[in-house]
């Protein structure tokens, strides 16, 4: 009886000898391959998410600016130009031809008399990141002017061109704009061009 138990115990110990070195190496290689695939998939998903988020943010903000700016141009009676600064916080941003900032006369009360409170100005202002500009819409001139930020940390460049040399004769304004919501991440810098006619030209 003792011999039978011992023989059985020896057979059990022989069957339960553990993993060989080859089995261990194969297991480690398989784990390495699976881990690499998982890390690659997570990294790729993160890149796609960043790209999509950047594109959506950029498109949404650019659409808001273009919609509002287009509406202002269509409602205006004429363009004007103060020949002042494109960015009021930057003394070096002189813009005599109004190529970087836009000024419009929107005759709100339809009396055909140009008043300071009816001048609408679109300006850029340097953002803290040093790359982007904030876009401001300013209603009126002087100390009573009301400024509202239309977009932040999005626009990299804006340029306005006009279809006539004299601002009184302008009938169409063209805007060229570069934007990128997150510089160095997601999408590349995008270019957009937009033209609108002054429908209320007097």
Residue 29 lies in a domain: no
- Alpha carbons 116 and 37: distance in angstroms, whole number: 64
Stretch 115-120: mean pLDDT, rounded? Answer: 92
Please name every residue paired with 135 in a beta bridge, in sequence order, or none if there are none: 124, 151
Tokens representing residue 3 in the block: 């011999």
Element holding 149 (H helix, E strand):
strand 146-162
**Cα pseudo-dihedral 144, 147, 133, 94, rounded to 10:** -20
Residue 69 lies in a domain: yes
Domain residue limits at 150: 46-197
- pTM for this prediction: 0.70
**Domain tally, the chain:** 1
Stretch 77-99: mean pLDDT, rounded? Answer: 88
Residue 151 lies in a domain: yes
Residue 51 lies in a domain: yes
Residue 160 lies in a domain: yes
pLDDT tens profile 23-65: 888 889 999 999 999 999 998 888 888 777 767 776 777 788 8
| The pLDDT value given to residue 91 | 85
């Amino acid at each position: 009886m003792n011999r039978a138990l011992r023989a059985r115990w020896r057979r059990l110990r022989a069957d339960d000898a553990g993993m060989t070195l080859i089995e261990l190496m194969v297991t480690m290689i398989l784990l390495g391959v699976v881990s690499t695939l998982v890390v690659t998939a997570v990294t790729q998903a993160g890149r796609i998410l960043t790209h999509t988020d950047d594109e959506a943010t950029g498109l949404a903000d650019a659409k808001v600016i273009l919609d509002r700016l287009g509406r202002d141009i269509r409602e205006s009676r004429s363009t004007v130009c103060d020949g002042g600064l494109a960015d009021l916080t930057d003394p070096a941003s002189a813009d005599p031809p109004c190529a970087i900032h836009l000024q419009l006369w929107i005759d709100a009360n339809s009396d055909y008399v140009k008043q300071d409170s009816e001048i609408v100005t679109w300006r850029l202002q340097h953002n803290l990141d040093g790359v982007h500009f904030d876009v401001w819409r300013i209603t009126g001139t002087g100390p009573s002017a009301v400024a509202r930020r239309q977009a932040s940390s999005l626009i990299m460049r804006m340029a306005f061109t006009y279809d006539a040399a004299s601002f009184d004769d302008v009938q169409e304004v063209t805007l060229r704009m570069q934007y990128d919501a997150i510089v160095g991440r997601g999408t590349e810098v995008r270019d957009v061009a937009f033209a609108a006619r002054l429908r209320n030209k007097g």
